[in-house]
Chains A and B, each alone.
Chain A
Amino acid sequence: MERSRFQQGLDDLRDKLLRMGGLAEQAIDRATEAYRTRDAKFCQMVFTVETAINQAQRDIDELALDLLAMQQPMAIDLRFIMAVVKINIDLERVGDQAVNIAQRVLDLISEPEVELPVDIPRMASSVSAMVQRALESFLDGRAEIAESVLQMDNIVDRMKDEAFVVLVQKMQSDPKLTRAALDVLLISRNLERIADHSTNIAEDVIFWVRGADVRHGGAHYIR
């Protein structure tokens, strides 16, 4: 059957959002790579990707607004567009957080390298997996994958709390390390925020697919 113009519009919206999701993943990966290699060129890549993310955000908003105005979607289509609009915001913030990380890395590499007992690359790979899974759940509208993202959030929260404790200890025992430790602390905070954004994305997918609002720890079905 030929797809209707409206269905075509929904498919375009989905493709655009997935492409934006790909950019957001790239931004996280480059930022992590910058941390791991202490190579400023990866920071520059993050800044470039972030510009593309911002452009994508505007395009998606525009298309979503057009579809709402022209097609007056209902029910699952309406929930889908709502979800896209909200995920769009979260992905843009993911880009911002990646930029924040890249800026901290630039600060870190302006000083001699120090040894800190926090495994940022491991935390980043958990966070990256969350974003990937959240987007995967969006790709096929699979609420069960989205649910698994919600569970992963606790792990990242714990990592951030642990990083806080050890980095504060480090700063107290060796004040020379304060600057680097603060950078790393902020990076762990940025990663934890990205995990929160992927949680939001997963919740939006569940809302789209099931019509259930699972935010703030409840399963509130729209009445």
Chain B
Amino acid sequence: MGVGIEVRGLNAWYGKNQSLKNIDMTVPANHVTAVIGPSGCGKSTFVRCLNRMHETIPDARAEGLVKVGDVEVYGNGTDPVDVRRKIGMVFQKPNPFPTMSIYDNVAAGLRLNGLGNRKQMGELVERSLKLSALWEEVKDTLHKKSGASLSGGQQQRLCIARALAVEPDVLLMDEPASALDPISTSKIEELIFQLKQHYTVVIVTHNMQQAARVAEFTGFFLMGALIEYDKTEKIFTTPADKRTEDYITGRFG
């Protein structure tokens, strides 16, 4: 099951450049929350702070309270590797391991974490591929075909399956459909909608219509600040802040 995310006073920097300013945000469990805003507004930094990916960049640091379920992400004694296992991530460009088979791509995370025997692993791979709506298309070629032989949309669903295999509570998606054609995009969006039964999903997107279609809550970031955060239908019909309105109606940004 998904868990909620509590963010209080989150600040982040790249060197001396502050890229997130005092963010407070409550992401409800088992819902899809979209993060929107112009390039450089801090939205990707924000999601990368949720699973401690931000600090993997040299000179980058973050501080503040991020609680995912009961786990204090930046607490003393919290292992970033554990955090990243509980919080899966999917990126803009599908990045399967190109030479590994489809099966091995999904099993990679399990092996890395030393999880499961062969039988359990087979079940987990199947379950993950079913959850990512790829199973029917690849079940006969699991070991024969490589990750790179799949289409872009299939590769992205493979990456989602890989993220799901380690059974995270939260799935972060950074522009997961921006490199895909409309049919693959609509499959991914339908999938996101299904996934929220089991996971809490946070999606970064430049595509406002996509945010409106898939997310129940939407946060608008601008210059490192969270300007407005509300139910999606409110954000896209009657936003409270003029800056939100100007952005989503294309008047700046």
Contacts and interface: CB of A to CB of B under 8 A. Distances in A.
B237 A79 contact: yes
A74 B234 contact: no
B245 A4 contact: no
Contacts of B76: none
B64 interface: no
A75 B237 contact: yes
Nearest to A212: B238
Contacts of B209: 72
B250 A76 contact: no
A223 interface: yes
B221 to A, nearest CB: 17
A78 B208 CA distance: 13
Interface string A1-31: 0001010000000000000000000000000
B236 A78 contact: yes
Interface in A11-61: none
A211 interface: yes
A6 B239 contact: no
Contact of B250 (A4, A78, A79, A223): A4
How many of chain A's residues touch chain B, expressed as a range? 10 to 19
A74 B236 contact: yes
A222 interface: yes
Interface of B: 208-209, 212, 231, 233-234, 236-239, 244-245, 248-250
A75 B245 contact: yes
Contact of A76 (B231, B233, B245): B245
Interface of A: 4, 6, 72-79, 211, 221-223
Nearest to B236: A74
A55 B233 CA distance: 34
A222 B249 contact: no
A73 B249 contact: yes
A130 to B, nearest CB: 27
A187 B245 CA distance: 45
User: Nearest 8 pairs between A and B by C-beta?
Assistant: A211-B238, A74-B248, A222-B238, A75-B245, A77-B249, A74-B236, A75-B249, A75-B248
A211 B209 CA distance: 20
Given A4-B250, A6-B250, A223-B231, A74 B238 contact: no
Nearest to B245: A75
A78 B212 CA distance: 13
